[in-house]
């Protein structure tokens, strides 16, 4: 890993010196050994503090939105899974490809003090779906381990599932971290932050409201969620938000064929494209178009 | 000093429950926080920090102030009656206990906040010494001793026994209720436990953290103008994790909830990290995330102490160190800005 980090630093310096980029989104050592902090490097000198190790779990692609307002090109380090989020932002015109230099960095699975990150258990593989340059290595990503939670939920009765979600979502404190970290949640002003929307909410006004927040968000990112797992990683209350998104993905795959958001920025999401072969959902599944809920 | 076998904890809680609602750290849906205890519940005394901070005992995330409803052509306004429920909060840590003093300064100073006051008056705080402090702890920076956690009653756990020491009148009242369960405790045993804890504190990575320039109010303007804020806040997501989990963050907003047949006026936690925070008719006075980020730490380490006899609005609990998605936290700010020289030497 250390050799990779050195190569990354050298590559960054070279690109900086050639005037290719004028700032870098990468990681620095945080307070503890198991902690790498995302940082925007604004000077060449600072590159010496760049780290790349098994604690660089944060997906940096979302930070690019803010960088688009600035002059010049920004270099971003993206792991294979992070490139899906980047493509999603690209396909929605939230980043400008011309203003980003993607340095693909190899990954062998990311860890915190407790071990392999949960999101790494559903790793998408070694392929970079976007890059300008890739740092080669013989690292290989961890093999996916199914969580089994999706099946458990599917097997529940509607009442049990309702109780499960009420229990989980009642922990929500409306910190909005899931939304703010999500590469699919990229509205300039979120409806929940808009005082004129009539549904602006800093905190739950009643017990049901925060439940609805997550359900509305899951619908909003349906077809655009890459299943990157950042929402579950950041949730301070350990709510398994990924399960809501995976349910959406499962339902869409079943109806419209397998689709992976962020794999190809040119591809159209099944929910933004109409094909004659699309199923007539309400005819097939009844009112509401829901099969098993 | 009194003692009883730890395995009789249920009996202790049952006894307390006869006159009070007991709250203790418990696991619910994969997360440990303080919940109302009832017979048969399992208490998590090994959990150092609850996911929710105990500030919500007295300052809940959301609380109704009054309801307004139109009835037969006239408007009725019904203030929410404050519930006078006597509660025992068992297992509060030293850092969180100190946070109550900070909240008191805000809510109990004139004009006194009646919603907070009634809950605080009816609350009995039983603290628990931190047997196993963690890497993210830095309460010592603020002069807090996790071996001597304070409150109405302090509790230590050593060798399968629970040691109980009443510290206030309220604590005496609780002790009277439960005395029958205890026997006289060996003072030395508790002292040994304290010494053990203090030894562990010596090994913590942040034990020597000092506030540096944040301790000198005359440098406020230099701190405000530090170039480090820009770099530090670059990767701030602007979420509310730090403010909502923080035991001392106490900003709130007052909102309306229109149910269609009545308006409920409620107050809820607000976060200075949010773009809509303190929005006024002219707009927002802090337009960038850098300004919002700077405000949070300047408030905790400069403005609050300036107005409160040098007391910082941080207790070193470390929740922000554990939970910030971008590994930004008050310790990184202190190290980058407080520990640097006036020229901004640390280059965060």
The residues, ordered by sequence, that sit 6+ positions from B244 with a Cβ below 8 Å of its Cβ are: A173, A174, A175, A236, B61, B269, B271
Task: Give the structural domain span for B138.
Answer: 2-59+82-202
Tell me the two tokens of residue B270: 């607000």
Tell how strand B21-28 and strand A111-112 pair up.
Answer: unpaired
Q: How far is CA A183 from the centre of its chain?
A: 5
Tell me the average pLDDT across B100-128. Answer: 96
Dump pLDDT digits (tens) for B131-159. Answer: 999 999 999 999 999 999 999 999 999 99
- Show residues of chain A in contact with B228, CB under 8 Å: none
ipTM of this complex prediction, to 2 decimal places: 0.92
User: Are B143 and B227 members of one domain?
Assistant: no
* Run of H or E including B236: none
Dump pLDDT digits (tens) for B175-230. Answer: 999 999 999 988 888 899 999 999 999 999 999 999 999 988 678 999 999 999 99
Tell me the two tokens of residue B128: 């628990």
- When scoring A65, A205, A233 by the number of chain B Cβ atoms within 10 A, the one with the most, hence best to mutate, is A205
Between CA B99 and CA A126 the distance in angstroms is 47
R_g of chain A computed on alpha carbons: 20
pLDDT cut 70: percent of chain B above it: 97
- pLDDT, residue B87, reads 97
| C-alpha to C-alpha distances, B100 to A110, B125, B130, B134, nearest whole angstrom | 38, 10, 18, 22
The verdict on residue B73 lying in a domain is no
The verdict on residue B262 lying in a domain is no
Between CA B114 and CA B121 the distance in angstroms is 10
User: Are B124 and B231 members of one domain?
Assistant: no
DSSP A180-212: HH-TT---SS-GGG-GGGS---SS-SSTTHHHH
- Show residues of chain A in contact with B205, CB under 8 Å: 31-32
Residues of B with CB under 8 A from a CB of A: 28-31, 51-52, 61-62, 135-136, 205-206, 231, 234-235, 237-241, 244-245, 253, 255, 257, 264, 266, 268-271, 274-276, 279, 321, 323, 325-329, 331-332, 347
- Angle at Cα B89 formed by Cα B84 and Cα B92, nearest 5°? 145
| Count of C-beta atoms within a 10 Å radius of residue B260 | 5
- When scoring B56, B138, B233, B239 by the number of chain A Cβ atoms within 10 A, the one with the most, hence best to mutate, is B239
The verdict on residue B344 lying in a domain is no
User: Are B92 and B110 members of one domain?
Assistant: yes
The verdict on residue B348 lying in a domain is no
* B235 contacts A39 by C-beta, under 8 angstroms: yes
- pLDDT, residue A206, reads 66
CB contact under 8 A, A63 and B235: yes
The residues, ordered by sequence, that sit 6+ positions from A120 with a Cβ below 8 Å of its Cβ are: A57, A109, A110, A141, A142
User: Are B6 and B108 members of one domain?
Assistant: yes
Tell me the two tokens of residue B99: 């946070």
User: Are B149 and B231 members of one domain?
Assistant: no
User: Are B198 and B300 members of one domain?
Assistant: no
Query: Quick one: residue A238, left, alpha or beta (phi over 0 = left, psi -120 to 50 = alpha)?
Result: left
Please say if the pLDDT value at position B170 is more than 80: yes
Between CA A99 and CA A78 the distance in angstroms is 15
User: Are B273 and B187 members of one domain?
Assistant: no
Domain residue ranges of chain A, discontinuous segments joined by +: 2-134, 149-284
Residue showing tokens 């004139």: B110
- pLDDT, residue B344, reads 44
* pLDDT tier, B345 (very low <50, low <70, confident <90, very high otherwise): very low
User: Are B162 and B237 members of one domain?
Assistant: no
pTM here is 0.93
Low-confidence ranges of chain A (pLDDT < 70): 204-210, 285-293
User: CA quadruple B332, B337, B339, B343: dihedral positive or negative?
Assistant: positive
How many structural domains is chain B composed of? 2
> What residue ranges in chain A does DSSP mark as E strands?
23-29, 36-41, 74-78, 100-104, 111-112, 115-116, 133-134
Tell me the two tokens of residue B198: 């203090």
Between CA B54 and CA B315 the distance in angstroms is 13
| Count of C-beta atoms within a 10 Å radius of residue B214 | 24
Residue ranges of alpha helices (H) inside A94-157 are 149-155
Dump pLDDT digits (tens) for B44-61. Answer: 999 999 999 999 999 999
DSSP B158-215: ETTEEEEEE-SHHHHHHHHHHGGG-EE--HHHHHHHHHHHHHHHHT-TTTT---GGGG
Between CA B209 and CA B273 the distance in angstroms is 25
For residue A22, give the DSSP letter.
Answer: S
The verdict on residue B226 lying in a domain is yes
Query: Quick one: residue B298, left, alpha or beta (phi over 0 = left, psi -120 to 50 = alpha)?
Result: alpha
User: Are B23 and B101 members of one domain?
Assistant: yes
Cβ-nearest to A32 among B135, B268, B275: B135
User: Are B98 and B138 members of one domain?
Assistant: yes
Q: Phi and psi (nearest 5°) for B33?
A: -145, 175
For residue B83, give the DSSP letter.
Answer: P
User: Are B224 and B93 members of one domain?
Assistant: no
The verdict on residue B145 lying in a domain is yes
User: Are B28 and B167 members of one domain?
Assistant: yes
């Amino acid at each position: 890993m250390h050799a990779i980090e050195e190569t990354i630093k050298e590559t960054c310096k070279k690109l900086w010196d050639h005037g290719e980029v004028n700032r870098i989104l990468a990681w620095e050592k945080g307070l503890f050994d198991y902690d790498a902090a995302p940082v925007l490097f604004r000077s060449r000198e600072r590159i010496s503090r760049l780290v790349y190790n098994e604690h660089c779990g944060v997906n940096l692609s979302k930070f690019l939105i803010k960088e688009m307002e600035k002059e010049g090109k920004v270099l971003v380090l993206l792991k294979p899974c992070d490139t899906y989020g980047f493509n999603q932002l690209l396909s929605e015109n939230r980043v400008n490809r011309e203003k980003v230099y993607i340095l693909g960095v190899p990954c062998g699975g990311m860890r915190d003090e407790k071990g392999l990150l949960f999101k790494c258990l559903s790793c998408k593989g070694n392929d970079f779906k976007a890059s300008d340059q890739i740092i080669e290595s013989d690292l290989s990503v961890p093999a996916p381990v199914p969580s089994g939670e999706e099946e458990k939920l599917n097997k529940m009765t509607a009442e049990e599932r309702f109780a499960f979600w009420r229990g989980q979502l009642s922990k929500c404190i409306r910190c909005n971290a899931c939304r703010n970290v999500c590469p699919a949640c990229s509205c300039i002003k979120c409806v929940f932050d808009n005082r004129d929307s009539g549904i602006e909410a800093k905190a739950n006004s009643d017990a049901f409201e925060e439940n609805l927040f997550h359900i509305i968000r899951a619908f909003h990112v349906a077809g655009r969620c890459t299943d990157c797992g950042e929402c579950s990683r950041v949730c301070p209350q350990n709510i398994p938000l990924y399960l809501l998104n995976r349910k959406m993905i499962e339902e869409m795959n079943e109806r419209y064929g397998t689709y992976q958001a962020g794999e190809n920025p040119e591809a159209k999401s099944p929910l933004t494209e109409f094909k004659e072969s699309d199923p007539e959902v309400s005819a097939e599944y009844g009112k509401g178009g829901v099969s098993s809920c | 000093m009194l003692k009883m076998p730890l395995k009789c904890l249920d009996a202790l809680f049952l006894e307390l429950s006869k006159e009070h609602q007991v709250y203790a750290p418990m696991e619910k849906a994969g997360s440990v926080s303080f919940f109302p205890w009832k017979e048969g519940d399992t208490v998590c005394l090994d959990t150092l920090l609850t996911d929710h901070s105990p500030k919500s005992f007295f300052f809940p995330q959301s609380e109704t102030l009054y309801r307004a409803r139109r009835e037969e052509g006239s408007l009725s306004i019904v203030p929410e009656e404050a519930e006078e429920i006597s509660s025992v909060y068992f297992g509060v840590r030293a850092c969180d206990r100190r946070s109550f003093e900070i909240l008191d300064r805000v809510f109990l100073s004139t004009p006194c906040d009646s919603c907070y006051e009634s809950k605080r008056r009816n609350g009995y705080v039983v603290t628990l010494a931190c047997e196993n402090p963690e890497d993210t702890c830095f309460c010592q920076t603020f002069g807090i001793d996790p071996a001597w956690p304070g409150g109405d009653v302090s509790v230590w756990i050593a060798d399968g026994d629970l040691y109980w020491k009443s510290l206030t009148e309220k604590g005496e009242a609780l002790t009277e209720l439960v005395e029958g369960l205890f026997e006289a405790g060996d003072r030395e045993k508790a002292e040994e436990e304290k010494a053990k804890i203090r030894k562990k504190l010596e090994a913590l990575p942040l034990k020597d953290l000092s506030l540096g320039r944040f301790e000198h109010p005359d440098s406020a303007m230099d701190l405000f103008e530090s170039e480090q804020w820009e770099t530090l806040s670059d990767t701030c997501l602007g979420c509310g994790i730090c403010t909502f989990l923080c035991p001392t963050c106490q900003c709130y907003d007052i909102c309306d909830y229109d149910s269609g047949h009545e308006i409920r006026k409620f107050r809820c936690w607000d976060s200075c990290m949010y773009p809509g925070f303190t929005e006024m008719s002219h707009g927002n006075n802090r337009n960038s995330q850098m300004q919002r980020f700077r405000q949070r730490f300047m408030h905790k380490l400069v403005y609050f102490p300036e107005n409160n006899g040098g007391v910082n609005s941080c207790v070193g609990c470390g929740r922000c160190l554990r939970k910030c998605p971008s590994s930004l936290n008050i310790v990184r700010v202190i190290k980058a800005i407080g520990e640097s020289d006036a020229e901004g030497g640390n280059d965060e």
